[in-house]
Structure 1
Amino acid sequence: MLTAIPGEASRPESFALASAPCGAFRPLDLMLVRVTGADAVSFLHGQFTQRVDNLGASIRTAGYCSPKGRLLAVVRLWREADAVMMLFPASIAAGLLKRLRMYVLRSDVAFEAVDVPCLAHLSGTDGLEAARALGFEGLEALPAAGEIVEVAGMKLMGLSAATDLPGFAAGGPRALLRVTDASRIAHLPESSALWWAAEIASGVATVHPETRELFVPQAVNLELVDGVVFTKGCYPGQEVVSRVQHIGETNRRAAIGRATLGTAPLPGAPVFTPEGAAGYVVVAVSNGTDTVFLYSATKAALESGVSLSPEGETVQSIELPYRYRNVLAG
């Protein structure tokens, strides 16, 4: 069953910051879906690269793949009462949910859209102070990645930590705040670009319509942000994803770049080395002068440096908040 899910939202031509970065804001252009029914947990567990059967009091990142192991979506998952909540870009909502419905068959599973103004992103000192002012009194730090702290009907959910991107996003811990009364956070500014800047700073990939089925999970470091569980059993594309991992080293990885560019390239735009196209932009944000972006490229290109045009300058490489590694080897 599918309830109140709108069609795919239009996406800005490029993501641009309309104001200076801030530690507390409401993200735009996201879709929050409540999944319910007696079979909801088991159904979702069989669809994603992440375990859903033991979510408990945690928030997790997960990939949704085609049978060929290519990413169709990257979502955030957490539990609320008898429901599983899914958060992902609104631009892929119709396609993602249509595909999930194809596999529901006779299972007892229902999808329902939830208003996104009930969400806020918090980071840095200002984000911690905002959490305290909203009722998380005595909170010494934002929760660690995956952890959830609850107070008076609010959930403060730890996200992957970010590297510092001056002019775009603060480094350090960050969290997603979920409230049931949207008026409690109505005073916070709204922005889609700030959300994607924070995700870039955290090295967390997403999938937009332009990059659907372009990447295997490892090519965008999904397993490095705990988005893939290699012991959970079957899901669409599982054999391909597992095979890539057991080879030992993937030949493509994601990285953060910064360039003097006033307009952000679209997801899926190529990145170049002198030898030619070497990868693709995952997501990019501009502040009108500079652009930061997450991109996926060959390991050789990451070592030599990339540009955003065939004859452009090599972009500045920004250190990720985690290291490249084979997670199965430690």
Structure 2
Amino acid sequence: MKTDSSKPQFDALPTAFACRMDSMATICVSGDEKYSYLQGQLTCDLDTLNERMLLSGAHCDAKGKVFSVFRLFEHNDEVMMLMSKESAQASLVQLQKFAVFAKAELAISECGVLALAGTDIANVLTSQIGDLPSEKTPVITHQDLTLVYVSGRHDSYLLAGPEASLDKFLTRLELPVYSGCVWNLLEILNGFPHLSDSAIGEYVPQMLNVQALGGISFTKGCYMGQETVARMKYLGKNKRAMFTLQGQSNELVDSSSLLEKQLGDNWRRGGNITSLYQADNGELYIQAVLANDTDVDDIFRIKDLADTVLTQIPLPYDLTDE
């Protein structure tokens, strides 16, 4: 099915649509010790995982800096970690380095993944497969496919399985299909980190709101970067958080651009972009790490585009919830 390469603003998206996940990659983990190995590498608690459960988490270096933020679920006896394509390359190298000491194999999965979204997508899917996954039971199987419910401001679903099966299912749905950049837009609005190259290795998990997403276990055993993550929580060391901004620009904006914050008649450095989506009409949706005391009324701009005014879109979760 042909992919629509346009980049619509959020309000112009149809009530049901699909996204090809070309901006994402999945690390698959197999082997007898896959769970125990990942338990010592990731911020989430793998001991709570079962075939109907979805976990969020982060993979950090020894200093607690994040390589990737992911959604994790099981598919065909493998653990699947879905993340930005840039993050997957960084995480895979590090995870493979230490996996030589465990009975665990890691690779970029050849399994395909689609995103299904829109205000009417649940009705469309129900007409095809019946009962759907939910917040309580977020992962189900349908034939050789795994269907995952993704909660947020804009609920959606992930569908994982063989590419041929995905294409067949997508043909039955008869939905418009967008590229992965539209999924990035949904992630930005849902406040789920989608890390670009410039953001990898720069932040600890709490700066990316991973604790607010339920992606950090503070009671599990040791894992890579745990000391820094714990210090941020118990000593109150973290001074930054991730926010969503919206604006307009006729100029192309790059994720490496710096943000400035308005202070009276002046502007000062305000933060860094972790991800962005720029619609064809110039509308901007930006995911950025800012001071964690940022007020909802604070005004920002792109440093090199002085006429670009950026305002905050409230996050769909509470940042104080750790």
Q: Give the TM-score category using the shorter length.
A: 0.7 to 0.9
Give the equivalent residue in structure 2 for 1:194: 182
Equivalence map 1:145-224=2 (5 Å): 147-162=138-153, 171=154, 173-180=155-162, 181-187=165-171, 188=175, 189-224=177-212
Q: Distance in 2 between matches of 1:55 and 1:263?
A: 45
- Whether the aligned pair in 1 keeps the contact of 2:96 and 2:105 (CA below 8 Å) is no
Secondary structure, counterpart of 1:315 in structure 2: strand
Give the equivalent residue in structure 2 for 1:12: none
Give the equivalent residue in structure 1 for 2:40: 46
Deviations 1:132-171 (A, max 9, x none): 2432x255xx622772233333322121312xxxxxxxx3
Counterpart among 25, 35, 57 of residue 31 in structure 1: 25
Q: Distance in 1 between matches of 2:242 and 2:57?
A: 17
Give the equivalent residue in structure 2 for 1:321: 316
Equivalence map 1:270-285=2 (5 Å): 270-273=258-261, 274-285=266-277
Equivalence map 1:244-259=2 (5 Å): 244-248=232-236, 250-259=238-247
- Whether the aligned pair in 1 keeps the contact of 2:67 and 2:90 (CA below 8 Å) is no
Q: How far did residue 233 of structure 1 move?
A: 1.9
Q: How far did residue 98 of structure 1 move?
A: 1.3
Q: Distance in 1 between matches of 2:236 and 2:294?
A: 19
Secondary structure, counterpart of 2:275 in structure 1: strand
Q: Which runs of 5+ in 2 are unaligned?
A: none
Q: How far did residue 106 of structure 1 move?
A: 2.7
Q: How far did residue 242 of structure 1 move?
A: 0.8
Give the equivalent residue in structure 2 for 1:61: 56
Deviations 1:227-273 (A, max 9, x none): 11111121111111111011247321111111112456333432112
Instruction: Give the residue type in structure 2 aligned to 1:152.
Output: Q
Q: Distance in 2 between matches of 1:146 and 1:324?
A: 24
Name the % identity: 21
Distance verdict in 2 for CA 1:67–1:266, change over 3 Å: farther
Instruction: Give the residue type in structure 2 aligned to 1:174.
Output: S
Deviations 1:268-287 (A, max 9, x none): 43211245212111111011
Secondary structure, counterpart of 2:74 in structure 1: strand
Give the equivalent residue in structure 2 for 1:8: none
- Whether the aligned pair in 2 keeps the contact of 1:159 and 1:176 (CA below 8 Å) is yes
State the TM-score, normalized to the length of structure 2.
0.84
Q: How far did residue 49 of structure 1 move?
A: 0.7
Give the equivalent residue in structure 2 for 1:5: none
Equivalence map 1:97-108=2 (5 Å): 97-108=92-103
Q: Distance in 2 between matches of 1:249 and 1:160?
A: 29
Q: How far did residue 59 of structure 1 move?
A: 1.3
Instruction: Give the residue type in structure 2 aligned to 1:103.
Output: F
Distance verdict in 2 for CA 1:91–1:199, change over 3 Å: same
Q: Distance in 1 between matches of 2:230 and 2:224?
A: 11
Q: Which runs of 5+ in 1 are unaligned?
A: 1-14, 163-170
Q: How far did residue 209 of structure 1 move?
A: 1.6
Q: Distance in 1 between matches of 2:260 and 2:6?
A: 23
